[in-house]
Amino acid sequence: MTTTAASPWQAGATLEGRYLLTEPAGRGGSATVWHARDERLGRMVAVKLLKTDLLDDEAALHRLQVEAQALARLRHPNLADVYDYGLVHQGRRLSAAYLVMELIDGIPLKQVLTEQIRLPWEQAAQVGAQIADGLAAAHARGIVHRDIAPGNILLPAGDVKIIDFELCAPPGSNEYDADGQLIGTPAYVSPERLDGRLVQPAADVYALGVLLYRMLAGTLPWRADNAVALMTAPLLRPPTPLPPVPGLPPQLAAAVAACLSEQPDQRPSAAELAATLRAHTPDEVPAVVAVPAADDEAVTHILPWRPAGTRRRRRFLTAAAAAAVLAAAGVAWAVATRTEPPQFSAAPPAPQASLAACTAVYRLLSDDGGRYRANLTVTNTTDTPVSGPVAFTVPGDQRIDAAYGWAQRDRTVTNNTVGTVEAGRSAVVLVGGAYTGTNPLPTAFTLAGKPCAPTLLSTSGSRLPLPAASGATGPVAPGSGGPVLPGDQASPAASPQAPTAAPPSPEPPQSPEPSPAEPSPSAANPGDGEGEGRVLAPVPPTGP
């Protein structure tokens, strides 16, 4: 195996005798981007250098090569051009892997939304049309971007450029890597990506729909207080309707709603969306501008993360324009956010709240007869904070996936990622696993060793009947090979209604340790920290 050398790259260094590095333009989880001068052709370029500690990571090297090859096949006004790609060796040691691209003098859309909250609808539609044009060109050449988000859109004067094709893939390829990991920006990950379906262009259209909603409304389409809730909300309820936007043509509001459809085949193509946006937008629209920040808001950081209970290669997660580790936010994901201490979602109603120290709402999300996925909302119903693990008893032969932070011993499953749950607040944790035969749902839950009053919900959100004896085998999940439940008929018995959709919120909670490179955001600014940046989501596919 080729060994790696310590990085010699700093301002004034020359890469392969050709590219003179002048100053860093931004740092990401996997690479540093430099302003550089091509000494051979006498022009300024951007050089993306893979970070030294990733030079022995075959997956990182492969992603850089895929990005180079994808961009080399694309020529479009709304896509950055690639000029060169290479590996630098010192003897047998690999000292650099790099990509040379068009240097774009533009402001990230993320920064604009941070400063302005929302855009006039004409500007939002014009920006959206150009993004859709670029995506249509990429889709026509068999490339799906897979990370459309404000941090990956640059706004040169009067123009729009889609950048960072690091995660791109051809349609029909697997969404998950060999380790069962999904990479993306939480707020913009489509439902089918979470379900592990094959890569398809409709995922980019969904992400653009979320971005259009964000530009028009100043918020996200779903309320979410953490990254788990942010990513799973589209699986649980429809988006909040777009609030009234003065002057917005109804055709554009309908187009945004269509982009957010849960089913990919109900969304328009990127080309259709571009045509709709352009047909209902004035020809003359002022260019989007923003005041450049005093500090470099493009700086990103490597946040080490390893799924609990697994032995995996080192992975990373990045957050565009500043990040810090949300170390114990009551979820199994490590999430890149900023400034505020973690908050849990408001407690859903649950039975026997006055008789138990906690309540547990277990909702089945999917079940294909061999694998299933669910979320578990545990609420502290006492008057004091509670710290301790969430646990439940497996009623059948299920083997619970460790990737969500669960550890299974015999029939007891424990999760220590929740941390402290404040009085009257909730923690949401995902559950996934495999089984043979039937899939009875658990009914015996605890928080910090205290029993919780259980509620079971079907995939549609309807209540399921509880067994007569506490801790007895619960109902069998529909589609699991067991008996058909009274199913999605709501029992008149005591279980509460499923949690109802809340109004949208701009982002999940923020980290108590802001990045030193990032100025403190305004408390009234909903553009900050909406889950932007990459998050490695340990969400195994639902298939067997």
**DSSP letter for each residue of 41-73:** TTEEEEEEEE-GGGTT-HHHHHHHHHHHHHHHT
Strands (E), 321-473: 324-325, 336-337, 358-367, 371-380, 386-387, 390-393, 399-400, 406-409, 412-415, 420-421, 426-434, 445-447, 450-457, 463-464
At residue 213, the pLDDT reads 97
Q: Does domain 347-496 have CATH number 3.40.50.620?
A: no
Q: Which has the higher per-residue pLDDT, 376 or 6?
A: 376
Least confident range of 98-107, 160-169, 319-328:
319-328
Phi and psi at 242, nearest 5°, equal -60, 130
Tens-place pLDDT, residues 212-221:
999 999 999 9
What burial class does residue 73 get, using C-beta atoms within 10 Å of its C-beta: 0-12 exposed, 13-18 middle, 19+ buried?
A: exposed
Tens-place pLDDT, residues 116-130:
889 999 999 999 999
Would residue 147 show up in a list of annotated catalytic residues for this protein? yes
Beta bridge partners of 399: 434
Three-class SS state of 159: coil
Q: What is the mean pLDDT of residues 472-492?
A: 46
At residue 26, the pLDDT reads 73
Contact of 85 with 133, CB cutoff 8 Å: no
Handedness of CA 518, 523, 525, 529 (dihedral sign): positive
Whole-number average pLDDT of the chain: 74
At residue 488, the pLDDT reads 35
At residue 427, the pLDDT reads 80
pLDDT band at 209 (very low <50, low <70, confident <90, very high): very high
Q: Which has the higher per-residue pLDDT, 204 or 496?
A: 204
At residue 355, the pLDDT reads 57
pLDDT band at 133 (very low <50, low <70, confident <90, very high): very high
Is a pLDDT exceeding 50 seen at residue 74?
Answer: yes
- CA proximity to 220, closest of 230, 228, 229: 230
Q: What is the mean pLDDT of residues 443-451?
A: 93
At residue 123, the pLDDT reads 94
Beta bridge partners of 87: 97
3-state helix, strand, coil in the chain (%, to 5): 20, 25, 55
Three-class SS state of 83: strand
At residue 31, the pLDDT reads 82
pTM of the predicted protein model? 0.58
For a pLDDT cut of 90, what percent of the chain falls above it? 31
How many Cβ atoms sit within 10 Å of the Cβ of residue 154? 21
**Which two structure tokens, joined as six digits, stand for 408?**
């299974």
Write down the CATH superfamily of domain 3-102: Phosphorylase Kinase; domain 1 (3.30.200.20)
At residue 544, the pLDDT reads 35
Q: What is the mean pLDDT of residues 172-185?
A: 76
Handedness of CA 126, 131, 132, 137 (dihedral sign): positive
At residue 377, the pLDDT reads 85
Contact of 418 with 329, CB cutoff 8 Å: no
- Alpha carbon 275 to its chain's center: 28
At residue 29, the pLDDT reads 65
Q: Considering 57, 147, 164, 401, which one is annotated as catalytic?
A: 147
Q: What is the mean pLDDT of residues 147-166?
A: 89
Q: What is the mean pLDDT of residues 247-261?
A: 96
Least confident range of 152-156, 311-315, 419-423, 458-462:
311-315
Distance CA 50, CA 48 (A): 7
Domains 3-102 and 105-339+502-544 equal at CATH topology level: no
Q: Which has the higher per-residue pLDDT, 326 or 173?
A: 173
Distance CA 315, CA 319 (A): 14
Is a pLDDT exceeding 80 seen at residue 299?
Answer: no
Least confident range of 150-154, 252-256, 258-262, 269-273:
150-154
How many Cβ atoms sit within 10 Å of the Cβ of residue 489? 12
Contact of 441 with 456, CB cutoff 8 Å: yes
At residue 321, the pLDDT reads 30
* The CATH number of domain 105-339+502-544, selected from 3.20.190.10, 1.10.510.10, 3.40.50.300, 1.10.3470.10: 1.10.510.10
Is a pLDDT exceeding 80 seen at residue 58?
Answer: yes
Strands lying side by side in the sheet with 153-155: 107-108, 153-155, 161-162
pLDDT band at 478 (very low <50, low <70, confident <90, very high): low
Distance CA 77, CA 80 (A): 8
Domains of the chain by residue range? 3-102, 105-339+502-544, 347-496
